[in-house]
Structure formats: C-alpha cells, structure tokens
Structure 1
Amino acid sequence: MRVLAAMSGGVDSAVAAARAVDAGHEVVGVHLALSAKPGTLRTGARGCCTIEDSRDARRAADLLGIPFYVWDFAERFTEEVVETFVGEYAAGRTPNPCVTCNEKIKFEALLDKAMALGFDAVATGHYARLSIVDGVPELRRSVDEGKDQSYVLASLTPEQLRHSLFPLGGSLKSDVRAEAQRRDLAVARKPDSHDICFIPDGDTKKFLENRLGSHPGELVDAETGAVLGRHTGVHGFTVGQRKGLGIDQPAPDGRPRYVLSLEPVSGTVKVGSVEQLAVRRIDADRPIWPSERPLDGPTECVIQVRAHGGTADAVAEADGDRVRIELREPLRGVAPGQVVVLYRPDPAGDLVLGSAKIAATE
C-alpha cells in the first residue's frame, strides 16, 4: 500500500512510520504546520507543532529513508479547532480540542488530501487497536491502557477508519521508546506532548479573555440562590472546577464549592457541593458509529467522558441522532460539550461502540 505517515516530531509517530516501512508499504512522511507563527508556540517538546517538532520529524524521515514534506494546514486548523474551541467556551460548553483536531484535521483534511494524491491509508502514532473484519472497522482500546487514545479517535467515521493505520496499538509505550532507541531515532527520549498546543503559556483563561473580552456575571449558590460573587465571563469556568472561583466566603459547612453549571445568556455560574456534581443521566447528540452498528435497543456499556478517566457502567439507547445514557453509578464533572464514548467490554479489548456530543445532564 501507499501510506502517508503523519509525523508530529515525537517518538510515537516516528516509530509508527518505521513500522509501516518494515511492513513493506511505500511510505511518505508528512508534518502538519498548524500555526501561521510556529515560533510562538510552546517549545521544549511540550507541544506538537513547533518548528523544532518539524525538524525532528524530518530527521526521523531521513533516517528511515523516506520522502518527507511539510503541509500547511494553519488556516484550517485555526478555523476548525481554535475558533471552535473559543466558540464552545463562549456558549458555556467544555470542548476537547484534541478530539476536534483528530476529527477535522488529521482524519478529514489530511486523509482527504492523501486520498486525492493516491495514497491508500494514513498511519499515525495513536495508541489504539484497529482491525477490519469483513470490511467493517473495529476500534478497540490499546494494549497500554495508560496511553490509550481510542477516546479521541472514536469520532472517526467507518470510511476514515478503513483508510487508517495505528501501528502502535498493540505495544506498550516503554517498548516503543526502546525500539526508537534501537533504531537510533533522535526522538527516543523526547518527552510526550501535552497541554493545548495553541495556548503557549498554558493559561486557558487568559487566552479566552483575550479573544472574548469581559462579560460580567454572578456566582450563585445553586441551592439557596444567594449571590456569592461576580466574575468576568462564564468562559473562565468549567463544570467541576473547584479552584480559582473568586468566592471569598466559605460554605456554611466549610467544605469546598464546585462549578455545577454555566448559563452564558444570563452570565450565571452556579456553584455547590461535590455531591451536587453527581450525574446519573446524559443526553447526547450527533452520534457516530465507527463499526456502522447503531445501538439496537437498550445496551449495556461502559462510558467515558474524558480522554483519561471518567468511566462508568451504563445503559445507552439511541433514537436517531440522539443518545440517552442512564448511568449505573454517578459520575462527576460531566459537562455539555464533552464527547461521551461508549465501549463494550470484550476479551479482545474494549470495543468502541460509538461516540456522541453531550448536550445535557441530570
């Protein structure tokens, strides 16, 4: 196969490309330039699209003996990822920009261009297992549960998965680093990328304030209705947040307060106890079924609402473009805007049933 290897400049994508070469594929490496000003992005290997990352990717491609290109996706990244991120926070929702980036950039824009150029598949360094059974994609958690990235891939369509390769899904991260060392890849010990790449200093609140300005509102006790303070915008908060609320007076029982809900129209941020964070029902929309199998009636499953952690046993039922999820046990910190992924426990590894965008919780 002709395979386009997406090379971020990190150890995972470099080893994934190397394995694609070993498998006998005709491999071409590509690095995505996602910022019009890459020099302003975080350096020191904490991001995934800096100038140094592109250089690391090129060195890895040279060592592997494969052609290498840099594709400019900066404008589309800004429109699809950054502006969506800002808009979701302005609407009182909690987005995951990595999910959006995978969906809109790496497996829509990149894959579309790869197919137009005659490639058969795109290979990435994601930790997830993918198999095609009788033409039907089956996406599962990776062997390395601590590095599993099936959550951020669960929004991919069946057609996108049919043209995707995840060579690292059956490996532990420690083994991948050891392999990179044996291959003399310079990125063998490079730290993992983390945080949001387009927020250089990691200060999400300041980033949003610079773009959305000030929209004052009140901090209100959800139980009594008492006004506890004021704020400069609901975009400065997320459901489940405990620190930095700006409330001077303690709760009557002396226990911490948490953000329970955000109301962007009125500017109200409701706060309360940790017990009030418990969610037992989730209503979600825009479902995607990676294996082309929508739920057929009430289905026992395990749901996940964040990239790492936040799982619970549940019963889910689909009705057209809506999914209703009843949790067997309460889950905290669930917010509109998050993606909920449904898994089916399976001896071969938890199978992704589908994903949807959280619209409301109870």
Structure 2
Amino acid sequence: MLGVSGGVDSAVSALLLAQDARSGRGPAVEGLFMQNWEDDGSGDCRAEDDRRDAVAVCGRLGIPFHVRNFARQYWDGVFAHFVEEYRVGRTPNPDVLCNREIKFRTFLDEARALGAERIATGHYARVERRGGRWALLRGADADKDQSYFLHQIGQEALAATLFPIGHLPKAQVRALAREAALPVHAKKDSTGICFIGERDFRDFLARYLPAQAGDIRAVDGTRLGEHAGAWYYTLGQREGLALGGIRGRGSAPWYVVGKDVRNNVLYVDQGSDSPYLHSQALEADAAHWTAGSPPARSFACTAKTRYRQPDQDCEVEVGDDGGLAVRFARPQRAVTPGQAVVFYRDDECLGGATILRTDAPAVAAERAA
C-alpha cells in the first residue's frame, strides 16, 4: 500500500512499484490517500486538489485507489502537541510526529487492515537490513534527504516499509514523471507545514493562541518595542520584529535570542553572530533509537539540530533515564528547544530526541530567576 499524496514523489513511487508488479519483480500495489486535516473554511487547504491529483496518478497507472480520513488521529497525535509546545515557548516539528503517529502507525495499521503486507512512501530515505536489524539510511540525494524527519520510526515499521525513490536524485524523479506523462510531473513541491498551506503562519497560530501584546527587550532588559505574543517567535528569527532606528543601538539587524513566555517578554540582540544565539552543548529528552537501543552509553557521531544542516561532530552521553547530554566540537547557532537533534554515523540515521535546553548565555530574565 503506497501513500499517494498528489505530489510528484509519491507519483513516481507508484510508477516504479507498478512497473515492478507488472514485470513480476514485486508485489501488487495499491494507493491510499491520507486526509490529515479538515478544511477550516480559510480556502488555504489543498487536500481536495491533492486528492484529485492522487486519483489521476493511480488512474493513469491502473492501480486501485483508497482514501481515508485521519484528521481526528492527526489532531490528537500531532496538532494538539504542536499547539501546546508553542504555548509553553518551544518550537515543535510536526513533521516528525506526523511520520511517527500517522504515516508509519495509523497508515500502516489501515494498510494491513486492507490486506497489504508492506507500505511505501515517497520519502527520500532508504531502508537496509544490517547485522540482523533494519537500518534507516539517508536518501541518495543529499539535498532532499528526509531521514531527519523519519528518525522516530522503529524496527517494526522499518521492516514493513519501502522507499521506492530513496536511491534517486530529485532531477531523475522529475524526468521519470515527465517520460511517463504523469499528470503531476510539473507540480511544485509542497513546502512548510501541511495544515498551514500558503497562509501567514502567525495568522494561523493566532486562531489557537490569540495575540497578546508584550515587551520586546534587549538582553540587558531595556524595553525596545512591542510584540504580538512571545509564542509566535522562535530563536534566531529576524522578521516581524519591526525594530529599527533605535537611538544609540547602531544599524545591525535584531534577532530573537530568548523568550519569557510566562511574562510574555521577547528578548533580542543585534547581529547574527550574537553570543546569545550560540551554544556548544544541549540536553535532550529520552531518545528514540532506530535500532531499539543506543550504540553505547557514550559515543561520538555527527548530528543535525535542524533539517538540511551540515553534519556536526559531537559527543553523546546517554543518562540512566535515556535523556541525552550532547556536546559539539564547534559552537552551534540558534539551537532551539522543541526541535529535534538527530544523530548519524556515515549514511545511517541512528535516532534522535527533542531538544530541551542549551548552554547558550542566559538573557536578563534567566539571570534574574
């Protein structure tokens, strides 16, 4: 059962699987479209357009098509957590939770209920059997690799999953779609968070976390301006601060370097190289390891604290409770609580965890606490 999204990546995955089935190299394939978000009346939800595109692809390839509404499961397992994390001042990554809770749990269960033995998706990643276990590997196209978002997948799901385009570069995926005259061959890739669509992020979030004006302060506590709500901002953010021409402060741009959500205060500093944005160590919650356990209680590897970041050398210590202490070889910029730190060894994704805190210098509110 292939998850068909209406995009070019799942369309080419369907093409390859259908070709294998016809040639006898692979099992029969069917497509399932997941609706994970109900239309909220804004006109920004593209689910119906995507469903039509998915139907057209399956029709073109002659494979059976199914549709299921997982909006309730998505709300309970992903979106409620997303809102709560912003409420307490962290910056969550809903794609990680969506993969764990929906695409590789709810979807897998539904596929099995429909008689499928395995599932497939259009992610740029690979799965390989190594040393008696299943390994999650980076996609061959380094610019499109999505293993960062898949690090919470466990052995059961990996054993049942195919990534048909994980070995291909994106350019070749587009070329295959054109050659096969797939109706989505020229469709733009979706970007950003699926349930927000093209609308302004702050306007969307304000529906669940209403605007609440508060102070913007420099790291020394000086009031510089006003913001619409501390939860709308993330570390390292430059846009939307409306700070400029402040007497005696120079012309360098301002960046968010801290948030006091309880008192609704946003802390900023000038310059992208502000020391308040840099840290060399972080603490994370109990990690998920794709092999089921960490490589060791203490080990060296590389890590990413955001998608598409170049690999960073680090040392990892695993605590008795599974929590992590991570120290990087070089200072890191804007490491953000709520985001994921994901670990790699060569081409294998080892797993990851949610960042809780860093050793970045404390802003005025933290020093006073």
What TM-score, normalized by structure 2, do the two folds share? 0.89
Deviation (angstroms), 1:238:
0.5
Structure 2 distance, partners of 1:236, 1:113, is 35
Go from structure 1 to structure 2 and tell me whether the alpha carbon gap of 1:119 and 1:89 turns closer, same or farther (over 3 Å shift): same
* Superposition map of 1:172-211 within 5 A: 172-211=169-208
| Counterpart Cα distance in 2 of 1:52 and 1:137 | 36
Question: Take 1:101 and 1:118, find their aligned partners in 2: how far apart are those partners?
Answer: 23
What corresponds to 1:27 in structure 2?
A: 29
Out of 226, 230, 233, the position equivalent to 2:222 is 226
The separation in 2 between residues aligned to 1:36 and 1:52, in whole angstroms, is: 13
Partners of 2:333 and 2:179 lie apart in 1 by 43
2:362 is aligned with 1:361:
no
Find the residue that maps to 2:49 and give its secondary structure. helix
- 1:1-362 correspondence runs (5 A): 4-21=1-18, 22=20, 23-37=25-39, 40=42, 42=44, 50-222=47-219, 224-248=220-244, 249=246, 252-273=249-270, 274-276=273-275, 277-309=277-309, 311-319=311-319, 320-345=321-346, 350-362=347-359
Distance in 2, matches of 1:19 and 1:149, equals 19
* Matched letter for residue 155 of structure 1: Q
Moved more, 8-17 or 285-294: 285-294
Query: In 2, Cα distance between the equivalents of 1:102 and 1:170?
Result: 20
- How far apart, in 2, do the equivalents of 1:263 and 1:190 lie? 42
Report how far residue 38 of structure 1 moved: 7.7
Q: Secondary structure at the match of 2:30?
A: strand
Aligned AA (1:243)? E
Query: How much has 1:118 moved relative to structure 2?
Result: 3.5
Query: Residue type of the partner of 2:256?
Result: V
What is the deviation of 1:148? 0.7
Cα deviation code 1:231-259 (max 9, x no counterpart): 23112211001121133526734322211
Q: Residues of 2 paired with 1:77 and 1:234: CA distance?
A: 26
Shift of 1:68: 0.5
Give the Cα separation in 2 of the matches to 1:306 and 1:108. 24
- Name the CA shift for 1:321/1:122 in 2 (closer, same or farther; >3 Å): same
**Following the alignment from structure 1 to structure 2, what is the Cα–Cα distance between the partners of residues 186 and 201?**
22
1:175-214 Cα shifts (integer Å, max 9, x gaps): 1111122222111111111122222433111111222113
Cα drift, residue 149 of structure 1: 0.5
Moved more, 196-205 or 156-165: 196-205
Moved over 3 A (4+): 38-43
Structure 1 match to 2:363: none
- 2: distance between equivalents of 1:129 and 1:322? 27
What is the CA-CA distance between 1:310 and the residue it aligns to?
5.7
Q: Is the 8 A contact 1:158 1:289 kept in 2?
A: no
Among all aligned residue pairs of Structure 1 and Structure 2, give the percentage whose two residues are the same amino acid: 38
Q: Does the Cα contact within 8 Å between 1:302 and 1:344 map onto a contact in 2?
A: yes
**1:150-174 deviation per Cα after TM superposition (whole angstroms, max 9, x unaligned):** 1101111122111111111110111
How far residue 272 of structure 1 moved from its aligned partner, in angstroms, is: 1.8
Q: Letter of the 2:32 partner, please give it.
A: V
Distance 1:343 1:109, change over 3 A: same
Tell me the residue number matched to 1:46: none
Q: 1:140 to 1:53 in 2, by over 3 A?
A: same
Moved more, 237-246 or 30-39: 30-39
Distance 1:182 1:264 in 2: 52
How far apart are residue 134 of structure 1 and its match?
A: 4.6
Q: RMSD value over aligned CA atoms?
A: 1.9
In 2, Cα distance between the equivalents of 1:26 and 1:155? 28
95-104 vs 7-16, which moves further: 95-104
Deviations 1:81-100 (A, max 9, x none): 33322221111111112222
In structure 1, what is the Cα distance between the partners aligned to 2:11 and 2:332? 37
Change (3 A) 1:239 1:310: farther
Provide the rounded CA distance (Å) in 1 between the counterparts of 2:199 and 2:357.
28
Task: Flag the 1:41–1:147 CA change in 2: closer, same or farther, 3 A.
Answer: farther
